[in-house]
């Protein structure tokens, strides 16, 4: 019952606060609540939901129910491991979403200034960073390394994008002074 009401309470709270941004709900489940959360958020305007579940921690029926969930704003991802692994992945990535936001803003700004080759270089840095994690860190740190692969890749791209953005902004200032 609560999972069918919460999405609408969330939308009402957004409206009351004058917030028009999309809301992304990230969650991990060990089975029953995943399907309920997906169904509750299905096609609720202004919301998206991403549910992670462990392949070994849910029944085949629960997995099938989540995988076949309809709705334009719902996503389901199975991970190998248990519920704690799913939750750890979610936490390790979500605490660095501010870095991803900086990455998106700087990448889009640089592309908007017509320097898309530099953003491709940053994308290459992300790929190299993920490969580094896979080949150099997974053997030593196991699943923990996998959990931090995305944030490491985001930082690698930012190392290229932020100095590039500063240089481009300084050039623009000089041109318009």
Contact 58, 36 (CB under 8 A): no
CA–CA distance, 55 with 34 (Å, rounded to integer): 13
**In this structure, what token pair is assigned to residue 112?**
């908007």
Q: What is the pLDDT of residue 98?
A: 94
**In this structure, what token pair is assigned to residue 103?**
């990455």
CA–CA distance, 43 with 66 (Å, rounded to integer): 15
Contact 158, 99 (CB under 8 A): yes
Give the tens place of pLDDT for each residue, 20-44.
889 998 888 877 788 889 999 999 9
Sequential DSSP letters for 109-155: HHHHTT-HHHHHHHHHHHHHHHHHIIIIIHHHHTHHHHHTHHHHHHH
Closest CA to 82 of 49, 59, 58: 58
Q: What is the pLDDT of residue 2?
A: 62
Q: What is the pLDDT of residue 54?
A: 87
Coil vs helix vs strand at 1? coil
Q: What is the pLDDT of residue 139?
A: 94
Q: Given a cut of 90, is residue 123 above it in pLDDT?
A: yes
Q: Residue with structure tokens 């190392």?
A: 159
């Amino acid at each position: 019952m609560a999972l069918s009401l919460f999405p609408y309470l969330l939308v009402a709270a957004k409206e009351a606060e004058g917030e028009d941004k999309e809301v992304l709900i990230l969650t991990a489940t060990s089975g029953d609540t995943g399907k309920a959360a997906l169904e509750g958020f299905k096609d609720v305007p202004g919301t998206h939901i991403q549910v992670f579940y462990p392949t070994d921690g849910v029944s085949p029926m629960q997995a099938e129910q989540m995988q076949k969930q309809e709705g334009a704003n719902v996503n389901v991802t199975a991970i190998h491991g248990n519920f704690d692994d799913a939750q750890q992945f979610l936490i390790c990535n979500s605490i660095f979403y501010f870095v991803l936001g900086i990455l998106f803003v700087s990448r889009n700004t640089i592309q908007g200034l017509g320097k898309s080759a530099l953003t491709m270089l940053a994308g290459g840095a992300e790929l190299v960073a993920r490969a580094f994690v896979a080949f150099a860190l997974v053997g030593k740190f196991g699943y923990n390394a996998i959990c931090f692969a995305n944030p490491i890749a985001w930082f690698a791209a930012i190392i290229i994008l932020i100095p590039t953005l500063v240089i481009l902004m300084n050039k623009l200032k000089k041109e318009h002074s």
